[in-house]
């Protein structure tokens, strides 16, 4: 007997998607769509928060509702809600497409929620594809579509390649007699991970998730997609979609037990290459969204450190890192969205004089940047500290030092952004930054979270540890 | 490491006063510049009072860590909030209080983006205070970085000469330092197997292998050493000091560089005594090169602030040499020198800051005869210069004397080289004083006003401190001695 209440948040998101579908058939009314979206997102968030303690298994053991999935669902719906809150001026998307924009966001959110709960490789594949397909279309919704189409296509092709490799990997695993159920896989895989076929199958199987979190070698799409997508969609990809990707990646790699040398070696290459490439490329960027894209690539590298540590600390630090990325990246995109006029892209220098034009946003940006650079007392620092502790526990001190060198490199471009916001004089022609009171409040909440979780991480760490205990079951 | 609990959490109170001051400044509207300055002054005066109290109330006979506060913070991570001070940190708290107070007063006439300036300034000082009293490695590192990151904006917005370059270089260098410190801390915590960041617990109970101690000490030495201006990692320091506004130069050269040396002492030497012994010869060599390099590079400078910047490199070399000696005298001298150099360099930057504000000229060749035009301001400048070259009865004299005595004992060659370099530097500084303050008056500056009583106040305080501890060095010496005896006697 299936307990459908376990599935209530997902069902609600499905219903919301259906509602937007109906709305998209009627005459376009952006204000109405926005109001409906806000309500739907708020209800979805509260429903998920209400269901946070639920536990159980659905659909013949392929779908596991546990603390891990439920907390990630809260993160995902929170991100969804906040991105919707930033859609008050969705000028990057044609008015008649607003309801479709919300429809796709809702579908993607649903898919990401499913993704955190799936414990069967094929179910994971389906959920991953559902979320990716929504995003492929979201990217193309940008007004003035040539650029959007081009990058949407690029996104799609790279995504399709990653999916193909992933499926091939799963097939190899299945072919060697391993189960596609994560729980069974977790029992058999650690003993067999040294077999070449199993190792290759597992590594290929990870490609879809590496694509999702924009890690090397599947990172090429990130800068183009961030640049070409509507600002709000880019915000969603950078935050919510990343959180889902990290969640599923953690679940899958947890099945590999202690990992084994070759797997860890592969993940180290991914990690070092991601952070180094991301940080070095970010230095050269002028477009703020491209810069954030490369910084995402770098952060994927840091996340990989948590994962390749293959210990309890690594898992809980991965959760904490996902939370920190959500908070910090969302703050940055909030500034991008509010500063840009008419949904256009902004250059770093367009932030000039932000400390006068929008003091609260400027302060939030400063903290988010320091957080991304991993400087205390911010959530970003504590996240890095946890990740590094996990890595050193597994004996990878050199990796931590490489990561810290990368942190210093990254500081260079974060400081350029900060300098623009606090030091450069605003241009005469700079459009005013309209910041409604609600957004100022949101910025204050994000500031509070950034600092509070940075200096008092205790509740978050406790939650992360509880979540990752028995992640496979 | 003995812990003596506090009856009353005076250390946390210092931090709270700073944070309250910060909050008040942030909440005040930006137009109320005067109010911001008053709030900052009150905040700095109260913290100065509290740090004087700690200095006086610290029980020198008892020694060990006193005023200890302990609070569970994140047990699953092994982090607790522990504060405490010993004979090393008490003088440095006092130093921070003095420089904070005088720094705020020095910026009294400052008029650009006042609210943001003082908010950043107070935040920076909070970090410094926290770093000096933290006994938990997590908090120690957090405070350490809190004291670094406001630096970038402080220099880039309010600075002068070549500020964008100076600020960026300084920030990247210092953060590169913390990029080594953090792995070092995490490594030691993991190595101990105790799962705690608590410094007393690690010092008392952990048994680190010699290899771990050598590796970690190296990371700490280079990481903190960058901030301490250890040659060859010092290059950020002159550029940064010259670019920074007066109060920030004061704080940076006066206090922040001490954080670096203090970090080596507190984290490196307490946790890794064997690493300390292993690297001491290298430290001594680098310190001596720093002393000579700073002295010689100073000879080529024409800008007053560069002169002070390079003399800082030289003086911090003295600190390094004292620490490398691994004797009671050496450590005493090193910590004394941190304090004395802090006060001296603050006075120096403050005096130069006044001269620059009035003349907009820092090339000493273009100044001249300032003692006639502004006798009081010139007097402070001369006093700072004399302290810098270690004239007896001024605080630096005792510090340098102790260090050099210790150095002659352990590293006679380095000691001799250091003394000659300091002597050359002294001659040069005297020339600078002559060119700036004496000789014919440059007619351009004839009409300039002397420093007013209000603006002179901070300089007067600094000068007073220099003289008091110069005449009564035992006030400082006994405090430091109480900690260095314990540290040295505990060496394997």
**Prediction ipTM score:** 0.85
Q: What's the pLDDT at A238?
A: 92
Minimum distance, in Å, between the CA of residue B63 and any CA atom of chain A: 31
> Taking residues B363-367, what's their average pLDDT?
80
Q: What's the pLDDT at A17?
A: 92
Check residues A239 and B366 and name the one with the higher pLDDT: A239
B299-338 burial, b if ≥16 CB within 10 A, otherwise e?
A: eebebbbbbbbbbbbbbbbbbbbbbbbbbbbbbbbbbbbb
Partner residue opposite B76 with nearest CB, options A400, A411, A461: A461
Contact list, B153 vs chain A (CB under 8 Å)? 418, 422-423
Taking CB atoms and an 8 Å cut-off, how many pairs form between chains A and B?
89
pLDDT in tens, B428-474: 888 888 888 887 887 887 777 777 777 788 888 898 999 999 889 88
CB contact under 8 A, B145 and A375: yes
Angstrom distances, CA of residue A449 to CA of A6, A315, A380, A443, B24: 29, 21, 11, 10, 21
Q: What's the pLDDT at A2?
A: 63
Average pLDDT, chain B: 88
B177-200 burial, b if ≥16 CB within 10 A, otherwise e?
A: bbbbbbbbbbbbbbbbeeebbbbb
Q: Which residue of B has its CA nearest to A454?
A: B142
Domain span at residue B90 reads: 3-489
Dihedral of alpha carbons A87, A90, A93, A97, sign: positive
Q: What's the pLDDT at A1?
A: 52
B142/A contact by beta carbon, under 8 A:
yes
What phi and psi values does residue B251 have, to the nearest 5 degrees? -70, -40
Mutate to test the interface with B, among A311, A373, A406, A408 (most CBs of B within 10 A): A408
Quick one: which of B390, B398, B371, B380 has its CA closest to B461?
B380
Quick one: which of B370, B389, B366 has its CA closest to B379?
B370
B152/A contact by beta carbon, under 8 A:
yes
Two tokens at B21? Answer: 């001051």
Q: Is A64 helix (H, G, I), strand (E, B) or coil?
A: strand
Quick one: which of A321, A467, A450 has its CA closest to A387?
A321
pLDDT in tens, B255-293: 888 999 999 999 999 999 999 999 999 999 999 999 999
pLDDT band at B90 (very low <50, low <70, confident <90, very high): very high
CB contact under 8 A, A458 and B76: yes
Using a 10 angstrom Cβ sphere, with 0-12 exposed, 13-18 middle and 19 or more buried, the burial of residue A427 is exposed
Q: What's the pLDDT at B271?
A: 92
Two tokens at B45? Answer: 């005066």
Q: What's the pLDDT at B377?
A: 83
Quick one: which of B151, B127, B172, B169 has its CA closest to B263?
B127
Least confident of B176-190, B328-342, B424-438: B424-438
Angstrom distances, CA of residue B263 to CA of A202, B87, B135, B278: 45, 15, 11, 18
CB contact under 8 A, B157 and A423: yes
CB contact under 8 A, A397 and B179: no
Quick one: which of A180, A55, A179, A43 has its CA closest to A122?
A180
Q: What's the pLDDT at B280?
A: 93
Minimum distance, in Å, between the CA of residue B142 and any CA atom of chain A: 5
Query: Residues with Cβ < 8 Å from A447, sequence gap 6 or more?
Result: A360, A363, A364, A367
> Taking residues B219-243, what's their average pLDDT?
88
Q: Is B451 helix (H, G, I), strand (E, B) or coil?
A: coil
CB contact under 8 A, A415 and B179: no
Contact list, B180 vs chain A (CB under 8 Å)? 401, 404
What phi and psi values does residue B134 have, to the nearest 5 degrees? -70, 135
Which residue in this structure is represented by tokens 């800051």?
B353
Minimum distance, in Å, between the CA of residue A267 and any CA atom of chain B: 20
Q: What's the pLDDT at B114?
A: 85
Two tokens at B476? Answer: 């400082």
pLDDT band at B393 (very low <50, low <70, confident <90, very high): confident
Dihedral of alpha carbons B355, B361, B367, B373, sign: negative
CB contact under 8 A, B172 and A375: no
Which residue in this structure is represented by tokens 């990809």?
A237
CB contact under 8 A, A376 and B152: no
Least confident of A187-191, B71-75, B364-368, B372-376: B364-368
CA pair distance B492, B486, nearest whole angstrom: 12
CA pair distance B455, B102, nearest whole angstrom: 10
CA pair distance A461, A318, nearest whole angstrom: 11
Q: What's the pLDDT at A473?
A: 58
CB contact under 8 A, B190 and A415: no
Query: Residues with Cβ < 8 Å from A238, sequence gap 6 or more?
Result: A226, A292, A293, A296, A329, A333
Angstrom distances, CA of residue A373 to CA of A4, A383, B224: 43, 11, 19
pLDDT in tens, B285-297: 999 999 999 988 8
Mean pLDDT of each 10-residue bin along chain A, 473 residues long: 78 92 88 90 92 83 88 93 89 84 93 92 92 90 76 89 93 88 86 88 91 89 90 92 92 83 91 94 92 94 92 90 93 90 83 86 92 90 92 90 91 90 79 81 93 89 84 66
Contact A322, A246 (CB under 8 A): yes
CA pair distance B328, B267, nearest whole angstrom: 18
Number of domains in chain B: 1
């Amino acid at each position: 007997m299936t307990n459908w209440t376990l599935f209530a948040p997902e069902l609600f998101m499905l219903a919301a998607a259906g509602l937007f579908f109906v709305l998209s058939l009627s005459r376009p009314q952006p204000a109405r769509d926005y109001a409906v979206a806000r309500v739907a997102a708020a209800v979805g968030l509260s429903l998920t928060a209400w269901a946070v303690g639920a536990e159980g298994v659905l659909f013949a053991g392929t779908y596991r509702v546990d603390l891990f999935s439920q907390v990630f669902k809260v993160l995902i719906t929170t991100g969804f809600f906040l991105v919707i809150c930033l859609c008050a001026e969705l000028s990057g998307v044609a008015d008649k497409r607003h309801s479709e924009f919300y429809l796709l966001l809702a579908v993607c959110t649903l898919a990401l929620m499913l993704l955190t709960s799936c414990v069967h490789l094929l179910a994971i594949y389906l959920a991953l594809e559902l979320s990716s397909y929504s995003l492929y279309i979201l990217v193309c919704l940008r007004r003035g579509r040539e650029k959007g189409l081009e990058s949407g296509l690029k996104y799609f092709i790279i995504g399709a390649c990653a999916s193909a490799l992933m499926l091939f990997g799963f097939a190899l695993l299945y072919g060697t007699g391993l189960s596609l159920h994560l729980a069974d896989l977790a029992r058999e895989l650690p003993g067999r991970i040294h077999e070449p076929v199993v190792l290759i199958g597992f590594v290929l199987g990870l490609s879809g998730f590496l694509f999702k979190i924009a890690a090397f070698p599947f990172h090429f799409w990130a800068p183009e997609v961030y640049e070409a997508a509507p600002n709000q969609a880019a915000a969603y990809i950078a935050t919510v979609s990343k959180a889902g990707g990290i969640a599923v990646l953690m679940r899958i790699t947890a099945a590999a037990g202690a990992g084994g040398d070759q797997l860890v070696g592969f993940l180290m290459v991914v990690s070092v290459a991601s952070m180094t490439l991301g940080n070095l490329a970010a230095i050269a960027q002028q477009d703020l969204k491209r810069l954030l894209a490369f910084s995402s690539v770098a952060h994927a590298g840091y996340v990989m450190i948590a994962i390749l540590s293959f210990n309890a600390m690594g898992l809980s630090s991965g959760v904490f890192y996902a939370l920190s990325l959500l908070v910090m990246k969302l703050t940055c995109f909030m500034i991008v969205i509010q500063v840009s006029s008419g949904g256009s892209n902004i250059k770093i220098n367009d932030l000039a004089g932000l400390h006068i034009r929008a003091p609260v946003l400027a302060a939030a940006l400063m903290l988010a940047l320091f957080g991304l650079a991993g400087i205390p007392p911010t959530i970003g620092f504590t996240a890095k500290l946890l990740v590094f502790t996990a890595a050193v526990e597994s004996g990878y001190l050199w990796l931590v030092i490489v990561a810290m060198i990368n942190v210093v490199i990254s500081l260079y471009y974060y400081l350029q952004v900060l300098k623009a916001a606090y030091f450069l004089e605003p241009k005469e022609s700079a459009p005013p930054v309209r910041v409604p009171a609600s957004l100022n409040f949101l910025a204050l909440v994000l500031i509070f979270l950034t600092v509070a979780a940075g200096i008092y991480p205790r509740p978050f760490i406790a939650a992360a540890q509880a979540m990752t205990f028995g992640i496979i079951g | 490491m003995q812990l003596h609990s506090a009856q009353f959490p005076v250390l946390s109170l210092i931090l709270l006063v700073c944070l309250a001051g910060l909050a008040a400044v942030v909440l005040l509207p930006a137009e109320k510049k005067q109010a911001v300055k008053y709030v900052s002054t009150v905040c700095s005066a109260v913290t100065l009072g509290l740090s004087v109290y700690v200095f006086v109330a610290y029980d020198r006979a008892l020694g060990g860590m006193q005023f200890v506060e302990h609070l569970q913070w994140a047990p699953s991570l092994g982090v607790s909030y522990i504060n405490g001070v010993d004979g090393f940190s008490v003088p440095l708290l006092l130093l921070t209080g003095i420089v904070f107070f005088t720094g705020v007063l020095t910026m009294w006439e400052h008029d650009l983006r006042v609210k943001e300036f003082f908010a950043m300034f107070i935040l920076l000082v909070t970090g410094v205070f926290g770093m000096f009293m933290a006994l938990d490695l997590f908090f120690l590192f957090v405070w350490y970085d809190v004291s670094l990151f406001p630096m970038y904006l402080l220099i880039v917005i309010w600075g002068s000469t070549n500020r964008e370059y100076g600020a960026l270089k300084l920030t990247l260098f210092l953060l590169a330092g913390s990029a080594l410190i953090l792995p070092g801390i995490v490594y030691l915590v993991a190595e101990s197997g105790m799962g705690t960041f608590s410094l007393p617990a690690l010092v008392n109970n952990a048994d680190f292998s010699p290899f771990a101690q050598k590796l970690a000490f190296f990371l700490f030495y280079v990481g903190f050493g960058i901030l301490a201006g250890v040659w060859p990692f010092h290059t950020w320091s002159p550029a940064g000091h010259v670019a920074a506004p007066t109060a920030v130069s004061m704080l940076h050269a006066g206090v922040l560089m001490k954080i670096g040396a203090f970090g080596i002492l507190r984290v490196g030497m307490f946790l890794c005594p064997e690493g300390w012994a292993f690297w001491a010869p290298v430290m001594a060599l680098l310190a001596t090169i720093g002393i000579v390099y700073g002295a010689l590079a100073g000879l080529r400078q024409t800008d007053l602030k560069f002169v002070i910047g390079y003399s800082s490199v030289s003086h911090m070399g003295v600190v390094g040499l004292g620490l490398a000696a691994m004797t009671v005298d050496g450590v005493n001298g090193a910590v004394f020198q941190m304090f004395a150099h802090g006060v001296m360099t603050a006075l120096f930057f403050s005096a130069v800051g006044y001269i620059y504000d009035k003349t907009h000229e820092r090339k000493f060749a273009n100044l001249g005869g300032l003692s006639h035009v502004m006798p009081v301001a010139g007097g402070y400048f001369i006093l700072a210069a004399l302290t810098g070259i270690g004239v007896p009865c001024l605080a630096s004299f005792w510090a340098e004397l102790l260090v050099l005595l210790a150095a002659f004992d352990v590293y006679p060659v380095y000691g001799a080289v250091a003394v000659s370099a300091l002597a050359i530097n002294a001659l040069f500084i005297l020339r600078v004083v002559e060119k700036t303050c004496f000789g014919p008056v440059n007619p351009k500056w004839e009409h300039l006003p002397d420093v007013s009583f209000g603006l002179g106040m901070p300089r007067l305080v600094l000068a007073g401190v220099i003289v008091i501890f110069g005449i009564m060095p035992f006030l400082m010496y006994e405090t430091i001695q109480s900690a260095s005896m314990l540290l040295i006697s505990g060496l394997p």
